[in-house]
Amino acid sequence: MLIYRFLTWFVFVVSSPFLFFKFKGRERKERFGKPKHKFERCVWIHAASVGEVNAVKTLLNELLNKYTHTDFVLTTMTRTGQEAARKISPKLTTAFLPFDVDFIMKRLYKRINPSLIILVETEFWPNMLIIAKKKKIPVLLVNGRISDRSYPKYKFLRFFWKPVWQAIKSVNAQSEKDAERFKYLKFNNVVNVHNLKFCIAQKQYNKDKLRLELGYSSHDFVLVWGSSRPKEEKLLLKALPKLKQSNPNLKIIIVPRHLHRIPEIKELLKEFDFRLYSELKDVPEILLVDEMGILNTFYAMSDLAIVGGSFFNYGGHNPLEPAFYGTPTIIGNHFYSCRDSVDRLLENNGIIVSNKNDLIVDINKLTEDMSKARQMGINAKHTLENNADSLKMHMKRLEKYLK
């Protein structure tokens, strides 16, 4: 651990001029351990990015509503995570997580004075946890998971991680497989309380009204590719001629994961009939969404959802968002970041796992048999309803520390 502390200090000193110019304003202060607000006492929650923030949104709202006299501070690593965090509640204080350098982390602890720390999924920062251990601040892990990729690394480096993990008093694992992994690695007090992602509370829409507002007819078959990542748009465009042969009324909506890729995707689409969502006047063959935070709108009005980040090695994105609307869903075979969600949906025939070679066949299976597609969407929605006890189980395990 001394080696880690020295290395992080050394890297910080060497890179600090670059970091100083890379980050501006509020973010710069927070990355250096100086959030805007100070607290005499608070509950500190840390979620890495937008996926983790969305996963615990219902839990955060429950905590805010129940413990009205407690200050809650939510930190994230990424800017998209901050954007998602700020939308949760005005009662929630948000900030960027500082660099995991000993003296910077100590500065943050001094300013916010946490009495409890809640980590989301798998966020282990050694200096952060060692300080908590020294200060005897309990650390809890909620919706805990260990990915297939991370597990062998943690096993190999147990000698390094063991003193860090000792700071964690309780683990709420999101699946039995994850619970077994945490137990094997000798974490304390591990219990499978299911995946909080199943407790999503998204905005309800009237599908027919939504389609009408956007200009799509009842005869259009609307396919939404959500959270698309590099190379996935090319894969879809390559398949498009064959898909159009079997379904002439096919309309495509592409919602990229990152908006900075819009110019790149526009270049790919220049030979096609496409429009940007921000310039939508009439319904094109392909709609490219250039606005953040509205993916669920398109999942709600679509006939078929394809969850991106999964046909190449990105780990996949959340398939429970389209499942909430009962939308038939296809995901690629690279889904290690949402393994438990996909496994649960597969158990109930609520999703199809495809790959680059079988995508056309799998899409046509659903476009040619709409009764099968509708039943798959119903199964997916039932999967969420059947796993909705996770929030109650999480709260029960947290309450003894919050009291």
**Secondary structure (DSSP) of 4-25:** HHHHHHHHHHHHHHHHHHHS-H
pLDDT tens-digit readout, 49-81: 888 898 899 999 999 999 999 999 999 999 988
Alpha helices in 302-389 (DSSP H): 320-324, 339-347, 359-367, 370-386
Asked if residue 95 lies in contact with residue 30, where contact means CB atoms within 8 angstroms, the answer is yes
What angle, 0 to 180 degrees and rounded to 10, lies between the N-to-C axes of helices 390-402 and 57-66?
A: 50
Q: How confident is the model at residue 277 (pLDDT cuts 50, 70, 90)?
A: very high
Looking at the chain, the whole-number percentage of residues with pLDDT higher than 70 is 100
- 114-120 sheet: strands from edge to edge: 93-96, 72-76, 42-46, 114-120, 139-144, 168-173, 190-192
CATH of 207-386, one of 2.40.30.10, 3.40.50.2000, 1.20.120.1200, 2.60.120.380: 3.40.50.2000
pLDDT tens-digit readout, 307-339: 999 999 999 999 999 999 999 999 999 998 888
Dig out the tokens for 108 from the structure. 């943050």
Residue length of the chain: 403
Considering only CA atoms, which of 326, 302, 301 is closest in space to residue 209?
A: 301
Secondary-structure class of domain 26-195+388-402 per CATH: alpha beta
Number of C-alpha atoms within 13 angstroms, CB side, residue 73? 24
pLDDT tens-digit readout, 177-200: 999 999 999 999 999 998 888 887
Secondary element (H or E) of residue 330 = strand 329-331
Q: How confident is the model at residue 38 (pLDDT cuts 50, 70, 90)?
A: very high
pLDDT at 393 over 90: yes
What's the pLDDT score for residue 208?
Answer: 92
Whole-angstrom Cα distance, residue 108 to residue 35?
7
- Ordered by start, the domain boundaries in the chain are 26-195+388-402, 207-386
Supply the mean pLDDT for the chain.
Answer: 93
Question: What global pTM score does this model have?
Answer: 0.71
pLDDT (average), residues 246-274: 96
Question: Residue by residue, what is the 3-state secondary structure of 224-283?
Answer: EEEEECCCHHHHHHHHHHHHHHHCCCEEEEEEECCHHHHHHHHHHCCCCCEEEHHHCCCC
What's the pLDDT score for residue 281?
Answer: 87
Whole-angstrom Cα distance, residue 131 to residue 139?
11
**Same fold? 26-195+388-402, 207-386:** yes
pLDDT (average), residues 238-259: 95
Distance of CA 364 to the CA centre of its chain: 29
Asked if residue 320 lies in contact with residue 326, where contact means CB atoms within 8 angstroms, the answer is no
Whole-angstrom Cα distance, residue 287 to residue 255?
9
